[in-house]
Amino acid sequence: MAKYDKADLERRMKGAIDALKHDLSGLRTGRANTALLEPITVTVYGSAMPITSVATISAPEPRMLSVQVWDKTNIGPVEKAIRSAGLGLNPINDGNTLRLPIPDLTEERRKELAKLASSYAEKARVAVRNVRRDGIENLKADEKKKEISEDDRKRGETEVQKLTDEMVKALDEVFAAKEKEILGK
């Protein structure tokens, strides 16, 4: 049975775009939003877990986030993960709760957020290129098993590249819109 499935490749590439949109939705321009912390992973119990698996995140005030850690022993790792996430947030420890004041958006802060958005976009591009690589490898495997001809493989590779180019263009458009919002241009 043929391994190459264009619909599956397209679904996986669109998943990378959706993941980018989700990550970028957390980058707010000055207001507290719980999605800001969702991309953060915390190393607890010997494995990396999303912050939402070890704590409850809320926005009690427009410029403040609250992270209620369920297990008091995890406060340190959660605080460390937030500090090292590159979001420019400094947690204030209140026992089982971490308070995160959202700083004003200075020009420097806007540039930091734009840089973070750029790193999210690059991760999404890498994900799309990995899907492209998988598709091409599947085409080559199908050709090797004599399920498709060399011409079919080449046609398939052209289709995969065209799909990849469309998805990267869509990623770039999503990133450009968010960058424009962050930088206020």
Within a 10 A sphere around the Cβ of 12, how many other Cβ atoms?
Answer: 18
pLDDT number for residue 45: 83
Average pLDDT in the 33-47 region?
81
pLDDT above 70 (res 158): yes
Are the C-beta atoms of residues 50 and 41 closer than 8 Å to each other? yes
* Comma-separated ranges of CATH 1.10.132.20 domains in the chain: 6-26+106-183
Q: Give residue 30's pLDDT.
A: 62
* CA 13/CA 119 separation, integer angstroms: 17
CATH number attached to the domain at 34-101: 3.30.1360.40
Q: How many CB atoms lie within 10 A of CB 156?
A: 21
CB atoms inside a 10 Å sphere around CB 60: 9
Instruction: Work out the average pLDDT over 26-54.
Output: 79
Instruction: Give span(s): CATH 3.30.1360.40, the chain.
Output: 34-101
Segment 47-89, tens digit of pLDDT: 888 888 888 888 888 788 888 988 888 888 888 888 887 777 7
| pLDDT of 26 higher than 90 | no
Q: Which CATH superfamily is domain 6-26+106-183 in?
A: Ribosome-recycling factor (1.10.132.20)
Q: pTM for the complete prediction?
A: 0.67
69 burial via Cβ count (<10 Å: 0-12, 13-18, 19+)? buried
